[in-house]
Chains A and B, each alone.
Chain A
Amino acid sequence: MASHGVVLLNSWVSMFGMRVMIALKEKGVEYEYREENLTDKSQLLLEMNPIHKKIPVLIHNGKPVCESLIIVQYIDEVWNEKYPLLPSDPYQRAQARFWADYVDQKLYGALRKVLFTKGEEQEEAKEFVDVLKVLEGALGEMPYFGGEKFGYVDIALVTFYCWFYAYETLGGLNIEAECPKLIAWAKRCMERESVSKSLADPHKVYDFAVGLRKKFGVD
């Protein structure tokens, strides 16, 4: 089997699933992709992630790995002969884990608040931009969060880039005006095939977000 026993359960619009796709592509790992319908989850998903019942799930030789950042670290450790995603120095690794964790703790919640709740969008929009500004500060003058090389934190964050268009249009904001260096970094990442092939089309993401808003009765 061409996929060498690697299966990814995902939902095309998930920025968490995209992280796994980028990591697999960076390592040149072939895999089978299975699109999940989150309103009608497959038996396989429920069996492989009974605790959280969420995507992404990486199934490697029949065994599941769950939670996107845990999956990315797993991929880095298994396919370790080429292109390390995490630094080798323990302190640099701790820093990388810190910033990826920061994205998880702060960005997703802030994005959800603006896109999928009614009222006070301006407040939440500011929170989202504040988080991006902190990240922009951490990037500094480096080409990537990993320094000279694209790595773990870049993967953790860049997948949110395809959601920016939806966010800007629905939240009434211009992210490039607020965080130009971060947008420059995102475009730099998009020049990598692993990223451009893994990120969803921003206009399709926007349509999806509009649909979800209607469903939640936000619009």
Chain B
Amino acid sequence: MAEELILLNIWASPFGMRVRIALAEKGVDGYETREENLQNMSPLLLQMNPVHKKIPVLIHNGRPVCESLIIVQYIDEVWKRGSPLLPSDPYRRAHARFWADYVDKKLYSLGKLIWLTTGEAAAKEELIGCFKLLEGELGDKTYFGGDSFGFVDVSLISFYRWFNVFEHFGNFSMVVECPKLVAWAHRCAERESVSKCLPNEQEFFDFVVELRKKAMTK
């Protein structure tokens, strides 16, 4: 049966990027991407994700999978090509899920406090603390997954373009605060699966500046 795979996404979304990276890691490229506009959602999006009305949504043979980390796990379980994104050992799997969950719980909301406001010192300290904790977890490993690029790497590298947004609006330097994490990010960015999914740096930065302007004039 011909496989039908559609990704409902927004080019700048770090969550959508996770899905694209995971599919690329599995060598899956015969899929259609539909760019959504959250101010004017497509009927398909509303039909496929009526509960949250958010992207990304992966539609596989007509059936939707929602929530980026759930989609990445689904991809890992369906497409067995290449190295698995989650380890096979239950304890290491739980550990990977914990850190991906930590990225979800902390990074996006803390980051918002940086780029959507005007220099909150406490938020900046907390965000740097968050990155340092992640750097501690990485340790001297090549990837969070150890020797192989895995679940936590996918979860975090999708925020790569946000790093210089945070630096700019938070007025700090990532390479000064967490050099090992920056080295890890560069390593990941060299992977084809990541480099082809990263939005253009300047385009992304300009996009965030626009968003910030709009939000702050409200």
Q: Is the CB of A70 within 8 A of B63?
A: no
Q: Is the CB of A65 within 8 A of B91?
A: yes
Q: Is the CB of B70 within 8 A of A67?
A: no
Stretch at the interface among A94-102, A145-153, A172-180: A94-102
Which residues on the B side are within 8 Å of A97 (C-beta)?
67, 70, 73
Q: Is the CB of A134 within 8 A of B74?
A: no
Q: Is the CB of A91 within 8 A of B90?
A: no
Please, how many residues of chain A have a CB less than 8 angstroms from a CB on the other chain? 21
Most chain A beta-carbon contacts within 10 A, residue among B60, B73, B94: B94
Q: Is the CB of A90 within 8 A of B133?
A: no
CA distance in complex: A134, B49 (Å): 13
Stretch at the interface among A1-9, A35-43, A72-80: A72-80
Q: Is B53 an interface residue (CB 8 A)?
A: no
Chain B interface residue bracket vs A: 20 to 34
Q: Is the CB of B133 within 8 A of A51?
A: yes
Q: Which chain B residues numbered 58 to 96 have a C-beta less than 8 Å away from chain A?
A: 60, 63, 65-67, 70-71, 73-74, 77-78, 90-91, 93-94
Most chain B beta-carbon contacts within 10 A, residue among A70, A71, A134: A70
Q: Is A66 an interface residue (CB 8 A)?
A: yes
Q: Is the CB of A74 within 8 A of B77?
A: no
Q: Is A60 an interface residue (CB 8 A)?
A: yes
Q: Is the CB of B70 within 8 A of A90?
A: no
Footprint of A on B, CB under 8 Å? 51, 60, 63, 65-67, 70-71, 73-74, 77-78, 90-91, 93-94, 97-98, 101-102, 133
Footprint of B on A, CB under 8 Å? 51, 60, 63, 65-67, 70-71, 73-74, 77-78, 90-91, 93-94, 97-98, 101-102, 134
12 additional contacts (CB under 8 A) given A94-B74, A97-B67: A51-B133, A60-B91, A65-B94, A66-B98, A67-B97, A71-B94, A73-B93, A91-B65, A97-B73, A98-B65, A101-B70, A134-B51
